[in-house]
Structure 1
Amino acid sequence: MDIRGLFYVLAAALMWGVIGIFAKEILAEGVSALEIAFWRATFGWLLFLVHALIMRQTRVTRSDLPALFGFGFICVTLFYGAYQIAIRDVGMALAAVLLYTAPAWVAFLSWLVLKEGMTPVKMVCVLMTIVGVASISLGPKLMSGGTLDINLVGLGAGLLSGFTYALYYIFGKKYLYRYHTPTIFVYALPFGAALLFPFVDFQPKSGYAWIMLFLMAAVTAYGAFLAYYAGLRRLEATRASVIATFEPVVAAVFAYFLFGETFSLPGYLGSCLIIGAVILVVVSGSRPSRTVSEDS
């Protein structure tokens, strides 16, 4: 396994892990979740645009534009929308579990589309990550005797969010050998944001809210996707998706130190499962995937 690829994906997971910190601050300012998603995509696009213009990485083949716009629709509009519906209908904990069915989708789609091998180790790692995320997200509620609020719309939306999240990996593998990372997002993000626009209820915002929105986009969109796609160039999609599930562990650690939120026993067990899956993926990576010289 390419060690640089491992650290790139872990860096992306670290940056995605602070989404909750930004979101908590911005929501407290009266900004809706869907508006946060819109500005995250919009500010992220502006940063990628500046990057692409400076590096002269804006040109694409005209025949690839439908695929890039489709990526924006599926992985921005549809993904953000489905995840918000899942949170609304089944709660944040179960929505997170359904979102992190993504490694299973990635494993299947990588085998089907990218012709990556499906090994027993990969399947075990995928199962470990799903059980680990479920333990972190649902453990406290179930341990306290609570029940899960499940309806078919929310369940379907949650599974759709996991599937569309998985397509980040598949699309990246298909197009990273043609384009630089900023080039992809220069075309995908504005299209996805434009389709979100009609559904956003824009509210007046304080200067602090604007600063947090921009920082959220800079860290969790621009920075995270640069790091993640640099890692994806060097790793198989399934391995990368398993490593990226380190994100909820990072989020839980930040929640403990910043907000005093503590783990239950299932939370600790879930974290161990995810860390174990990442270690297993690393030590089992006997042959690195094809790489590309450009890092971003």
Structure 2
Amino acid sequence: MNIKGCLLILTAAVMWGLIGPVSKFPLEQGVAPLENSFWRAIFAWMLFAVHACRIRAIKIERKDIPQIIVFGFVGVTIFYGSYQFAVQEVGAALSSVLLYTAPAWVAVMSWLLLGEKMGPIKIAALVITISGVACVSLGPQIFGTGGDIKFTWFGIICGLTTGFTYALYYIYGKTIFARYTTPTIFLYALPIGALCMTPFFEFTTKTTTSWLSLIALALICTYGAYSVYYAGLKYLEATTASVIATIEPVMAALLAWLWWNESFDWTGYLGSAMIISAVLMMVMEQRIESGFRKLSLCRMQA
């Protein structure tokens, strides 16, 4: 396994893991979730625009404009916005865990929209994901337990929405992402997404801490993370990279505990472990199935 590739993917995962904990700084100082999302999109757009111009990749075909517009609304407005609402309502740690329901959404949408096979491992992982979400959302009510995180149904729904909209990145990856570079797509999608947010919040006066946090969300958690991740993919298989990237919710939970004193009860930790385990099952599906085939062959030969 390539060490350089592993370090790059690990760095990207840590950067993504910062999104929730860093977002809480402006949220705690009265900046609305959608304003957080707006500035993240605008600052990241500036960086991607410079990148796209530098590599001379700014042209898109006219027939792809509708897809770019829809992606800007779904992949930026809804995705960024729902993540910020989830952080505000249920905390940075749980938001990151719920984001990782994305592979389950991908499996279902790929089956329905792309005709991909829904094998036994994907079905099992889907059941485990749903069970994990039930643990983190219903556990405290059923068992009367409680950590330092207060759950709201609106926050849970927003967290699941981030997983769903993030899963759409994979669906788009089969179309426009396959034809253009990442800077090219975000050059157009980010301002569209930011513009769609503006009717739903009012700009507020921000402290230096809030501005620095918003810049960090764009520079480190968005532009930096994507750039480092795709650099790592040059050295590693996508499956290996996906496994390493599951450190993201672990990092988010650790920082949320250190910075914001967030902690789950036992049902929350159990549900989080189930969701991450389901992710690993899905990304390792081919290797797991290959292992089962070899085991069956060995038994037949014995």
After TM superposition, is the score higher than 0.5?
Answer: yes
Query: Which residues of 2 match residues 1-296 of structure 1 at below 5 A?
Result: 11-81=11-81, 91-92=89-90, 101-136=101-136, 139=139, 143-145=143-145, 150=153, 160-227=161-228, 235=238, 247-281=248-282, 283-286=284-287
Does the 8 A contact of 1:169 with 1:232 survive in 2?
Answer: no
Task: Specify the code of the residue in structure 2 equivalent to 1:128.
Answer: I
Task: Specify the code of the residue in structure 1 equivalent to 2:214.
Answer: L
Tell me the distance in 2 between the aligned counterparts of 1:123 and 1:2: 31
Tell me the distance in 1 between the aligned counterparts of 2:3 and 2:118: 21
Query: What are the Cα deviations for residues 222-281 of structure 1, in whole angstroms up to 9, with x where unaligned?
Result: 123345567889548xx9888766543321122233344344322332343244334434
Residue 113 of structure 1: CA displacement? 3.2
Unaligned regions of 5+ residues in structure 2, if any? 289-302
Residue 139 of structure 1: CA displacement? 4.4
Does the 8 A contact of 2:132 with 2:270 survive in 1?
Answer: yes
Tell me the distance in 1 between the aligned counterparts of 2:136 and 2:243: 16
Identity %: 49
Residue 73 of structure 1: CA displacement? 1.1
Which is worse superposed, 241-250 or 173-182? 241-250
Which is worse superposed, 101-110 or 57-66? 101-110
Tell me the distance in 2 between the aligned counterparts of 1:258 and 1:145: 23
Query: What are the Cα deviations for residues 190-222 of structure 1, in whole angstroms up to 9, with x where unaligned?
Result: 111011122221011223321211011112221
Residue 126 of structure 1: CA displacement? 3.2
Report the 3-state secondary structure (helix = DSSP H, G, I; strand = E; otherwise coil) of the residue aligned with 2:286.
coil
Q: 1:122 to 1:179 in 2, by over 3 A?
A: same
Report the 3-state secondary structure (helix = DSSP H, G, I; strand = E; otherwise coil) of the residue aligned with 1:176.
helix
Whose Rg is larger?
2
Residue 64 of structure 1: CA displacement? 1.1
Partner of 2:294: none
- When the two chains are superposed, the root-mean-square deviation of aligned CA atoms in Å is 3.9
Aligned length: 281
Does the 8 A contact of 1:242 with 1:281 survive in 2?
Answer: no
Tell me the distance in 1 between the aligned counterparts of 2:232 and 2:107: 17
Residue 19 of structure 1: CA displacement? 1.5
Unaligned regions of 5+ residues in structure 1, if any? 288-296
Tell me the distance in 1 between the aligned counterparts of 2:225 and 2:271: 24
Q: 1:133 to 1:16 in 2, by over 3 A?
A: farther
Tell me the distance in 1 between the aligned counterparts of 2:160 and 2:41: 22
Task: Specify the code of the residue in structure 1 equivalent to 2:70.
Answer: G
Report the 3-state secondary structure (helix = DSSP H, G, I; strand = E; otherwise coil) of the residue aligned with 1:201.
coil
Report the 3-state secondary structure (helix = DSSP H, G, I; strand = E; otherwise coil) of the residue aligned with 1:177.
helix
Task: Specify the code of the residue in structure 2 equivalent to 1:223.
Answer: G
Query: What are the Cα deviations for residues 32-56 of structure 1, in whole angstroms up to 9, with x where unaligned?
Result: 1110010011111111111111121
